[in-house]
Chain A
């Protein structure tokens, strides 16, 4: 299964995306937070499911580094799709992000290595329990933008999302795109990771646009493409 890079689409109603301007081909030269699920990797592994995160820096730096340079933080969403073995998570993740969101069904995470239960008031680990676990990346984003609004208002953060294990299982190779909205999807249009820059998240049109896109019959790929078009000038 191959990768399809993010690209800007036209709005489903035929309008061009807000602020889209000339369409630029997506770049693959910018690094992003990357996630591997590799049982043979030498990097630290956590819990019952081998789970490694590292930052791959290429060209002008990772989005994490970009965020840090601007004084912004990172909110990292780990979306565990059921059914699968429970994921291990650890405080090590906090070196990479200010907030870790564990999104998935009740039993999706083995959080015994965490110092506090995820979801504890005021902690760095957010818990998003999905009672209907088959949510897409965009649906998770929509819920996060709605539910985390006070946190996102209070903290200037970029938002990273990924579905652990998805890549190797699907034979997908790493990829990234440039700009304030980047995403990766497989050939079916299923988005497996995305990044939104802080400037996007604090934008006043962010939530209404997410809500509007979520209500439309579009693939996630199309939704992110529209989002990228709308925010392409938000550096």
Chain B
């Protein structure tokens, strides 16, 4: 049996401190730090402690000090220990075993993880507040974290790693398959198929945010499953070899976007398999980061890829080279025999209390939802009840909650009004589960009533059971040309239940299979291998590479800390390798891109370096400043910190209440500034109050040069909001002694607009959908991306430019009211259109860059 000193000696020697600390029960560093009156080397300090300190009541280690203050730590400490010989000593109540345990963990990596379920480094990485407070992680955990709960430790991570039944084999390549969940939804089923397919040729590691019903089905086919909601910070601490040796990865949905961070950090190539439309891939960053960092984007249908075109264009994604369409599986021949069909119909007849022997049976399936078009399915049934009463509709519902205010409550009322689920009805709702295959065998056709539904597995199941399918053009990938060659799928006008009914009634009845399933002549190449091959092919064709740090170094996937600098470099290298954009590499890059563009708007963009203009410069023209101050905190400081306000001929502040207006005037008076205030409704963010100054009875008057600012905060950007506002103000206004060159530049002939250069590459984003509505108002096409615009909506311009912007929509336009979405409204479009409006007037827009000004 090893003694405490044996254990200590082993690990202290490994840590290289055995000479400094031959005895775990005395820590000379602690002693010297805790008792500044103590001087000498380690030996002298120890001598003092043994012969004097101890009797004086001094502590020799952090443990003894902490233990005296918080005796409860022993329980949590005991629970952490995993080293068997130490655990045994603790269980035997050896008086010094816990002391040793504490001091061993304090040695840090790798000793801490070897002897316990605690990693000092991991605890700090997972709990940034502890790191920020510069607290000792072990002491925090024992004293507070273990009592308060909610503080994840290495032990929790180890419990989250579930071993699979496949051993890790070093001779095989290793793939990581990421799934966002493991429930019984279609996407998870595809994830399961990927794992099954990979298991024949690869070591398979699986990572997911949460477990679920299919976890047990996956375990026999993989080496391990990790359940984590913090993959970037937790995967580095996973000790299982399969997670150390990942060669490539597949993200089985953009919902897995959080796994992008650790993959980019480790330079692991990956493909993202897209089953979802971009509209419901929210928040938007999941879609954007998936497009920006995937080596290959694979879509399950052409229709889905088309749907993503806007998002892909937003990051300058090369669709032809960097994407592919791979359906999860093919349409398979009918395997339902006459006997199976008759048996299934008898069972359903019994269940529903209605003879379905000769009825035309049509089914739909999925959760009750607008997206699934359950209401359209019901309408189709109602139409058929009049014109083809022998037709019976059956919906297999995945879940129903008649108290759900979103949809179910309305549908439930609709069904009761329509007398559904009664013997004399032609519309029935059945719970999902055991009846699913009976319904498929019994039915003649499936009505895919979904408004948008990428490629539901149920359609493949239906065809396999001899059911023809009617779907909506533009509503699903099954309306793609890829499937038009099959006589099993018919598409009709989008969202039209009448047309759907006509198509359903025109379909032939089910043709029974002669016999059961026959072995396929050419078994389908598993989905995993089709994706894997496509990814490898793409990787071997890559020819452009970028190495090094970028001049613009603002955080995207990682933090702006120095420690993350190498990760940021890796992130940029990947981004620019594929020519994708989330930010500019440097000003030169932006300049080159603008110069290379032949778009008429881009031809009128200029990038210039910021410079100060002394506040006393006699060339400064008359100008007015408009501030929209929905929030007024910070206004006083802004006014005080910029000499620009003292040179303004007019300061006009719009706000929404008289109380704020009074306060604003007082702030101005306190600083010797005359501020005009004007009350406006809380509508149109900061920009509508500005534009309305230039409309009928507007307050702009004869002032020609305007600087537009605002105090408004976007909820999404509040953490960086102050830094960003300071960035914009500094470039537009100057500082306490100087004005920005913008004020001189805007007064020059041919210049219509001035704003700060934004280091992020900000695309049309959701405003893209509004472009067709305004396209006719411009002399040339809108560019694929705006490249430069006043991100943040603060700028200098002329009154006639502002007036032209207002006229683009018209003064009587039906402007949207609050609350508005975070993107894609007219206000977001206006922000992007300023250079276009100026260009239409043959004026240039100037963007000022100031490299030393912090942006994030």
Q: Does A pair with B?
A: yes
Interface residues of A (CB under 8 A from B): 106, 118-123, 125-132, 135, 143, 146-148, 150-151, 153-154
Given contacts A106-B588, A121-B321, A146-B267, contact A128 B540 (CB under 8 A): no
Interface status of B85 (Cβ within 8 A of chain A): no
B540 near A131 (CB under 8 angstroms)?
Answer: no
**Cβ contacts under 8 Å, A119 to chain B:** 543-545
Q: Which residues of B contact A148 (CB under 8 A)?
A: 545
Contact with A along B533-557 (1 / 0, CB 8 A): 0001001111111111111000000
List chain A residues, Cβ under 8 A from B577: 147
Give the chain B neighbours of A153 by CB distance below 8 A.
540
By beta carbon, the residue of chain A nearest B539 is A150
Report the nearest A residue to B588, measured CB to CB: A106
- B window 251-275: CB within 8 A of A: 267, 269
Q: A146-B267, A150-B536 are in contact. Are A132 and B548 (CB under 8 A)?
A: yes
What is the 8 Å Cβ interface bit string for chain B, positions 762-790, against chain A (1 contact, 0 not)? 00000000000000000000000000000
Known contacts being A121-B321, A122-B541, A146-B267, is A130 close to B547, with CB within 8 Å?
Answer: yes
Interface core residue of B269, B545, B549 (most chain A CB under 10 Å) = B545
6 smallest CB-CB distances across A and B, nearest first, come from A131-B548, A119-B544, A150-B539, A132-B548, A122-B541, A150-B540
Report the separation of the CA atoms of residues A151 and B539 in the bound assembly, to the nearest whole angstrom: 8
Separation in Å of the A147 CB from the closest CB of chain B?
5
> CA–CA, A114 to B766, complex, Å?
39
B540 proximity list for chain A (CB < 8 A): 150-151, 153-154
Question: Please, how many angstroms separate the alpha-carbon atoms of A102 and B544 in the complex?
Answer: 10
Question: Among residues 454 to 506 in chain B, which have CB atoms less than 8 Å away from a CB atom of chain A?
Answer: none
A121 touches B549 (CB 8 A): no
A128 CA / B545 CA spacing, docked (Å): 5
Q: Which of chain B's residues have a CB closer than 8 A to the CB of A147?
A: 545, 547, 577
Q: Contacts A146-B267, A150-B536: A129 and B547 contacting too (C-beta < 8 A)?
A: yes
Q: Which residue of B has the minimal Cβ distance to A149? A: B539
The answer to whether A127 and B547 have CB atoms under 8 Å apart is no
- Interface size on B, as a range, is 20 to 34
Closest residue of chain B to A134 (Cβ to Cβ) is B548
8 Å CB contact of A131 from B267, B269, B547? B547
Q: Given A106, A125, A154, which contacts B543 in the complex, CB threshold below 8 Å?
A: A125
Q: Within the assembled complex, what's the spacing in Å between the Cα atoms of A150 and B577?
A: 14
- Closest Cβ of chain B to A142, distance in Å, is 10
Q: Are B544 and A126 closer than 8 Å at their CB atoms?
A: yes
Q: What's the Cα separation between A125 and B267 when bound, in Å?
A: 23
* Pairwise interchain contact B542-A131, C-beta atoms closer than 8 A: no
Set of chain A residues within 8 Å of B548, measured between Cβ atoms: 130-132
**In whole angstroms, how far apart are the Cα atoms of A194 and B145 in the complex?**
56
Q: List 24 A-B contacts (CB under 8 A).
A: A106-B588, A118-B543, A118-B544, A119-B544, A119-B545, A120-B544, A121-B318, A121-B541, A122-B541, A127-B543, A127-B544, A128-B545, A129-B544, A129-B546, A129-B576, A131-B546, A131-B548, A131-B585, A132-B549, A135-B547, A147-B545, A150-B540, A153-B540, A154-B540
Q: Separation in Å of the A227 CB from the closest CB of chain B?
A: 20
Note all chain A residues with C-beta closer than 8 A to B544.
Answer: 118-121, 126-127, 129
Extra pairs beyond A122-B541, A143-B545 (10, CB < 8 Å): A120-B543, A121-B541, A121-B542, A122-B543, A127-B545, A130-B548, A150-B536, A150-B540, A153-B540, A154-B540
Interface centre among B548, B549, B585 (most CB of A within 10 A): B548
- The distance in angstroms between the C-alpha atoms of A150 and B536, with both chains bound, is 7
Q: Mark B507-548, 1 if CB is under 8 A from A, else 0.
A: 000000000000000000000000000001001111111111
Least CB distance from B197 to A in Å reads 21
Contact partners of B576 in chain A: CB under 8 A: 129
Residues of B within 8 A of A123 (CB): 543
Min CB–CB distance B590 → chain A (angstroms): 13
The docked-state distance in angstroms from the alpha carbon of A121 to that of B542 is 5
CA distance A127 to B540 in the complex (A): 14
Residue of B nearest to A128 (CB): B545
Query: Which residues of A are found within 8 Å of B588, using beta-carbon distances?
Result: 106
Q: Across the interface, which residues of B come within 8 angstroms of A122, CB to CB?
A: 541, 543
Cα(A96)–Cα(B760), bound, Å: 42
Question: How far in angstroms is the closest Cβ of chain B from A92?
Answer: 19
A61 to B: closest C-beta gap in Å: 29
**What B residues does A127 contact at CB under 8 A?**
543-545
For A106, give the chain B residue with the smallest CB separation. Answer: B588
Q: A132 to chain B: which residues have CB within 8 Å?
A: 547-549
How many whole Å from B115's CB to the nearest CB in chain A? Answer: 29
Q: How far is the CB of B482 from chain A (nearest CB, A)?
A: 24
Alpha-carbon distance A128/B585, docked complex (angstroms): 15
